[in-house]
């Protein structure tokens, strides 16, 4: 597979002596226009890689913050067409920052996976993370994605043992996403020491960068995790910043975009210090 | 959509858990290793005669199996057509077929060394059965139940509490079975090492659909033997309600390769299939992926899952077990809807002419029997699975009929 935006970005961060800072937002949260403004502002605030959530009615692996974020987006009328258009418009302005679409299989399945991967590539998407499709079903989506020129990023978890790890890594590209806890997003705080052991274990099996997420909420945590990891992912804390900025009717305010970018800036600073102090 | 007819309808699923294109294992990576362990443990248990012997013994002495096959003489007269038999699984301990599945799975959980049981429930029948086996085997039990269902199934909520279970009301979505299942999956992923998820229906990731079907097939196997004894022949038609579809697949599976037996699964038609207020995923949905399996789902064009509606909490689910999706596509089973109103009428009819108060779930099956029997000859035979009793529903039905309780 040719070198991708994701490969280039992780290499550049490594060269700069810091972990890549990966930020998750839900497409269309709290509404399309505001969400697009947040997306546009993320790179300037310190995001090296953007995970754009495709909202789903039944996000089984998410904690309450991302569940609510999905519901806000769907209530505001977000659709897969709109999510792909957001990426297309982002690409007109930014040809460097990688975008990974993250979500659940059903909205992709009903669209037809083979058609979806081509549309995503054309829109300027660089990779996919689909939570509920394991390597055992690689022929359905992962292989078509790779053939379309998308990276397919697999989650490895504390329950993925050494025996299973090669199967999980087999068709993974771009980076490996290590889930730092057994649990759902935005709940328990990861234990940095255990995470370091796990990251090194995964690195024993692959040359791909390893990014760590689930439960990272502060700059200090990002600094700790980023010592060993090649990337640090935050998500729940950002969609909570969206929620806290809304007015009583649940609508965006003039503070919404800056609430997210300030949060990104603060935690990105922690991540940037990871390899130095 | 019709797929090629197989040589047998009873050989599924394949080694990846598929029934045709349906079924499979679509879960987060955290759960995959555990699901593979579960499959292995179940295969080992199936090969161990002591596992089945223990189930048989509990079925007999704890549940009260075999449940009777009852000829409903007055109902047959009233309908004026085929002879109607009921498989009386509502007489089981705990009041429904759910106990058949729970006993098998809790034995498996113990074999796997799990120390905590979680479950989802809609009507509360599965929650009660799970809380019951947890009390019997001394394991802590947490039941996820939609908030809407907690309110409309109060007697079962109290029963579960008495049995020592913790009830977690789920407020997400419409607060029904789908949301309870999401929340149970979130618990499982968080406590995966020591927790066993006791799924109540023949759905979810492989091997659950196969395992639940096998544990419920005691219904169909007994029916076959009992009807042979009573009538010396096979039935002409089988009828069962389908929510997730565990009582139905349990009755149907032993008869799938008998072409003379017509089979009907009855879906919750709610307020009618023309709007969104129903749960007829096979008649009005399309294939998708949810809760670990590919199956027919109620969903919009963008793949967002819709909230169904049914008068019956146990049928209020936008999906269906994957084997039913396959049986629909092969044409082996006919899936038909019955509306809230038809179910409510059938509920009252059975109470009046047979002195049996059915649960609202099998009342849907009965609504189809009411349509079917008069079209059949008097020497023909229908067997309906009377899979639950109506004690839990009397308050809700009382309100609907305008009684001041």
- Burial state string for A241-268 with b = 16 or more CB within 10 A and e = fewer than 16: bbbebbeeeeebeeebbbbbbebbeebb
Cα B57 → chain centroid: 23
Structural domain includes residue B32: yes
pLDDT for B31-79, tens place per residue?
999 999 999 999 999 999 999 999 999 999 999 999 999 999 999 999 9
Flag whether residue B2 sits within 8 Å of chain A, measured between CB atoms: no
DSSP state of B96: B
Beta bridge partners of B118: B142, B197
Domain span at residue B76?
64-95+217-400
**Residue whose token pair is 């963008």:** B302
Find the mean pLDDT for residues B277-306: 96
A119 touches chain B (CB under 8 A): no
Non-local CB neighbours of B153 within 8 Å, separated by 6+ positions: B123, B124, B145, B313, B392, B396
CA–CA dist B317, A143 (Å, integer): 32
- Please check whether residues B45 and B79 belong to one and the same domain: no
Domain annotation covers residue B299: yes
Give the tokens for residue B221: 């196997």
Question: In this structure, is the dihedral angle defined by the CA atoms of residues A260, A266, A267 and A272, taken in order, positive or negative?
Answer: positive
Partners of residue B241 on adjacent β-strands = B266
Counted across chains A and B, CB pairs separated by less than 8 A come out at 111
Q: How is residue A142 written in tokens?
A: 């992962």
Q: Please give the ipTM for the structure prediction.
A: 0.96
8 Å CB contact between B329 and B1: yes
Q: Is A155 on the interface with B (CB under 8 A)?
A: yes
pLDDT of residue B395: 87
Q: What's the confidence (pLDDT) of residue B152?
A: 80
CB contact under 8 A, A60 and B24: no
Residue-wise pLDDT tens digits, B202-227: 999 999 999 999 999 999 999 999 99
Residue with tokens 């697949």: B249
In a domain, B297, yes or no: yes
Considering the domain boundaries, does residue B3 fall inside one?
A: no
B86-113 tens-digit pLDDT:
999 999 999 999 999 999 999 999 999 9
Cβ-based neighbours of B393, under 8 Å, separated by 6 or more: B312, B347, B357, B359, B360
Domain boundaries defined on chain A: 5-272
B198 — phi, psi (to 5°)?
-90, 90
Domain end position, chosen among B212, B229, B247: B212
Could you tell me if B284 and B357 lie in one domain? yes
- CA nearest A169 in B: which residue? B29
| pLDDT band per the 50, 70, 90 thresholds, residue B172 | confident
Tens of pLDDT, residues A118-132: 999 999 999 999 999
Put simply, the answer to whether A61 touches B173 (Cβ < 8 Å) is no
The mean pLDDT value for A44-57 works out to 98
CA distances from A201 to A19, A159, A193, B39 (A): 18, 13, 13, 27
Query: Across chain B, how many H-helices and E-strands are there?
Result: 16, 14
Cβ distance B239 to B262 under 8 Å?
Answer: no
Residues of A within 8 A of B190 (CB-CB) are: 182-184, 187-188
Short-list A198, A137, A188, A163, CA closest to B186: A188
Shortest Cα–Cα distance, B147 to chain A (Å):
16
The two tokens of residue B101 are 């599945």
In this structure, the answer to whether residues B108 and B76 fall within a common structural domain is no
Determine what percent of chain B is predicted with pLDDT higher than 90: 88
Q: How high is the pLDDT of residue B3?
A: 61
CB-hemisphere CA count at 13 Å for B371? 15
Out of A50-54, A231-235, B320-324, B399-403, least confident range: B399-403
Query: Which band of pLDDT confidence, cut at 50, 70 and 90, is reported for residue B2?
Result: low
Lowest mean pLDDT among A234-243, B127-136, B392-401: B392-401
pLDDT surpasses 80 at B405: no
Q: How far apart are CA A199 and CA B21, in angstroms?
A: 36
Token pair in block for residue B321: 């077990």
Under an 8 A CB cutoff, do A159 and B29 touch? yes
For residue A50, the cross-strand partners are A23, A99
Place of tokens 């113990």: B110
User: Measured between CB atoms, which of A79, A106, A154 is closest to B290?
Assistant: A106
The answer for A 169-188 residues in CB contact with B (under 8 A) is 179, 182-184, 187-188
pLDDT at B276: 87
Closest CA to B388 of B230, B241, B222: B241
Chain A hits for B191, CB-CB cut-off 8 Å, are: 182
Q: Is B290 on the interface with A (CB under 8 A)?
A: yes
Q: Do residues B299 and B264 both lie within one domain? A: yes
Rounded to 5 degrees, what are φ and ψ at B306?
Answer: -90, 155
Give CB contacts under 8 A, 24+ apart, made by A108-111. A108/A54, A108/A141, A108/B303, A109/A140, A109/B288, A109/B289, A109/B294, A109/B303, A110/B286, A110/B288, A110/B299, A110/B301, A110/B302, A110/B303, A111/A80, A111/B303
Residues B82 and B121 in one domain: no
- Kindly tell me if the per-residue pLDDT of B1 is higher than 70: no
Confidence class for position B308, pLDDT limits 50, 70, 90: confident
> Six-digit token pair at A202?
């995964």
pLDDT band of B17, cuts 50, 70, 90: very high
d(CA B219, CA B245): 13
Average pLDDT, whole number, for chain B?
95
Residues B162 and B117 in one domain: yes
Least CB–CB distance from B182: residue in A58, A109, A134: A58
Q: Quote the DSSP letter at residue B296.
A: E
Considering only CA atoms, which of A144, A83, A18 is closest in space to residue B303? A83
CB atoms near residue A143 (< 10 Å):
16
> Residues B131, B91: one domain?
no
Pairing mode, strands B237-241 and B262-270: parallel
The CATH class, in words, for A5-272 is alpha beta
Cβ density class A13-52: b for 16+ within 10 Å, e for less: beeeebbbbbbbbbbbbbbbebbbbbbeebbebbbbbbbb
Q: How far apart are CA A68 and CA A72, in angstroms?
A: 6
- Report d(CA B405, CA B398) in Å as an integer: 7
**What is the total count of domains within chain B?**
2
Chain A CB contacts of B185 below 8 Å: 60
Among the candidates B188, B212, B236, a domain finishes at B212
Of B212, B237, B261, the last residue of a domain is B212
> Residue B5 pLDDT more than 80?
no
- pLDDT tens digit sequence for B343-378: 999 999 999 999 999 999 999 999 999 999 999 999
Residues B232, B347 share a domain: yes
In sequence order, which ranges of A124-276 are alpha helices (DSSP H)? 142-147, 165-169, 192-203, 219-226, 236-245, 256-272
Where helices occur in B232-333 by DSSP H, the ranges are 246-252, 281-284, 322-330
Does B316 lie in the same domain as B169?
no
Average pLDDT taken over every residue of chain A: 96
Is B28 touching A (CB cutoff 8 A)?
Answer: yes
pLDDT value, residue B4 = 66
Q: Which one of A63, A107, A131 has the shortest CB-CB distance to B303?
A: A107
Q: Which helix (H) or strand (E) holds B266?
A: strand B262-270
Do B139 and B44 fall into the same domain? yes
Q: Which residues have a Cβ under 8 Å from the Cβ of A72 and sit 6 or more positions away? A: A26, A28, A29, A30, A242, A243, A250
User: Which residue of chain A comes nearest to B306, CA vs CA?
Assistant: A57
Predicted model pTM: 0.96
Query: Is residue B18 assigned to a domain?
Result: no
CATH number of the domain where residue B117 is located:
3.40.50.1100
From start to end of chain A, where are the E strands? 20-26, 49-53, 99-103, 127-130, 151-152, 155-156, 176-179, 210-213, 231-234
B235 and B356, same domain (yes or no): yes
Average pLDDT of the residues in A177-182: 94
Same domain, B73 and B48: no
pLDDT at B307 over 90: no
Give me B391's structure tokens.
């004690």
């Amino acid at each position: 597979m040719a070198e991708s935006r994701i490969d280039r970005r992780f290499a550049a961060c490594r060269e700069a002596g810091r972990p890549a800072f990966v930020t998750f937002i839900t497409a269309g949260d709290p509404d399309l226009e505001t969400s697009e403004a947040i997306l546009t502002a993320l790179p300037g605030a310190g995001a090296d890689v953007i995970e754009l959530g495709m909202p789903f009615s039944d996000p089984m692996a998410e904690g309450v913050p991302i569940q609510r974020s999905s519901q806000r987006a769907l209530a505001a009328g977000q659709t897969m067409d709109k999510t792909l258009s957001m990426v297309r418009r982002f690409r007109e302005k930014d040809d460097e920052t990688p975008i990974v679409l993250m979500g659940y299989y059903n909205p992709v399945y009903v669209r037809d996976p083979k058609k979806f991967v081509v549309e995503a590539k054309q829109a300027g998407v660089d990779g996919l993370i689909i939570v509920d499709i394991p390597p055992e079903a690689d022929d359905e989506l992962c292989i078509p994605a790779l053939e379309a020129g998308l990276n397919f990023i697999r989650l490895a978890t504390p329950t993925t043992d050494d025996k299973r790890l090669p199967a999980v890594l087999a068709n993974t590209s771009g980076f490996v996403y290590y889930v730092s806890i057994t649990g759902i997003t935005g709940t328990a705080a990861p234990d940095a020491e255990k995470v370091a052991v796990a990251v090194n274990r995964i690195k024993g099996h692959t040359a791909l960068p390893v990014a760590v997420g689930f439960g990272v909420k502060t700059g200090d945590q990002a600094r700790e995790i980023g010592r060993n990891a090649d990337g640090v992912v935050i998500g729940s804390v950002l969609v909570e910043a969206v929620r806290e900025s809304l007015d009583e009717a649940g609508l965006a305010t003039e503070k919404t975009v800056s609430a997210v970018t300030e949060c990104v800036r603060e935690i990105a600073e922690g991540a940037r210090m990871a390899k130095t102090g | 959509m019709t797929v090629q007819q197989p040589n047998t309808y009873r050989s599924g699923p394949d080694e990846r858990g598929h029934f045709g294109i349906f079924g499979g294992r679509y879960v987060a990576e955290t759960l995959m290793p555990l699901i593979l362990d579960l499959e292995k443990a179940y295969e080992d248990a199936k090969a161990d005669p002591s596992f089945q012997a223990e189930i048989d013994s509990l079925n007999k002495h704890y549940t009260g199996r075999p449940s009777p096959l009852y000829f409903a003489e007055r109902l047959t007269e009233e309908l004026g057509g085929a002879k109607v038999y009921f498989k009386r699984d509502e007489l089981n301990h705990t009041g429904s077929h759910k106990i058949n599945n729970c006993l098998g799975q809790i034995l498996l959980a113990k074999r796997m060394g799990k120390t905590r049981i979680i479950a989802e429930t809609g009507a509360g029948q599965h929650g009660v059965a799970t809380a019951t086996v947890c009390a019997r085997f001394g394991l802590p039990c947490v039941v996820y139940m939609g908030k809407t269902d907690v309110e409309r199934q109060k007697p079962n909520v109290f029963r579960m509490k008495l049995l020592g279970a913790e009830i977690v009301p789920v407020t997400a979505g419409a607060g029904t079975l789908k949301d309870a299942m999401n929340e149970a999956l979130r618990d499982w992923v968080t406590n995966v090492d020591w927790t066993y998820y006791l799924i109540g229906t023949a759905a979810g990731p492989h091997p659950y659909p196969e395992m639940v079907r096998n544990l419920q097939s005691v219904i169909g196997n007994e029916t076959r033997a009992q009807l042979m004894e009573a009538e010396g022949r096979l039935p002409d038609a089988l009828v069962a309600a389908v929510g997730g579809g565990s009582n139905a697949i349990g009755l149907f599976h032993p008869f799938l390769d008998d072409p003379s037996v017509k089979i009907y699964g009855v879906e919750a038609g709610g307020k009618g299939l023309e709007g969104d207020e129903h749960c007829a995923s096979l008649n009005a949905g399309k294939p998708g992926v949810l809760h670990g399996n590919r199956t027919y789902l109620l969903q919009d064009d963008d793949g967002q899952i819709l909230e169904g509606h049914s008068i019956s909490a146990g049928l209020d689910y936008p999906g269906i077990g994957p084997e039913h999706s396959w049986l629909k596509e092969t044409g082996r089973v006919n899936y038909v809807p019955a509306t809230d109103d038809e179910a409510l009428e059938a509920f009252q009819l059975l109470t009046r002419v047979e002195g049996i108060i059915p649960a609202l779930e099998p009342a849907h099956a009965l609504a189809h029997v009411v349509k079917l029997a008069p079209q059949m000859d008097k020497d023909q035979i229908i067997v309906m699975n009377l899979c639950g009793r109506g004690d839990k529903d009397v308050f809700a039905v009382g309100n609907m009929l305008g009684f001041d309780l």
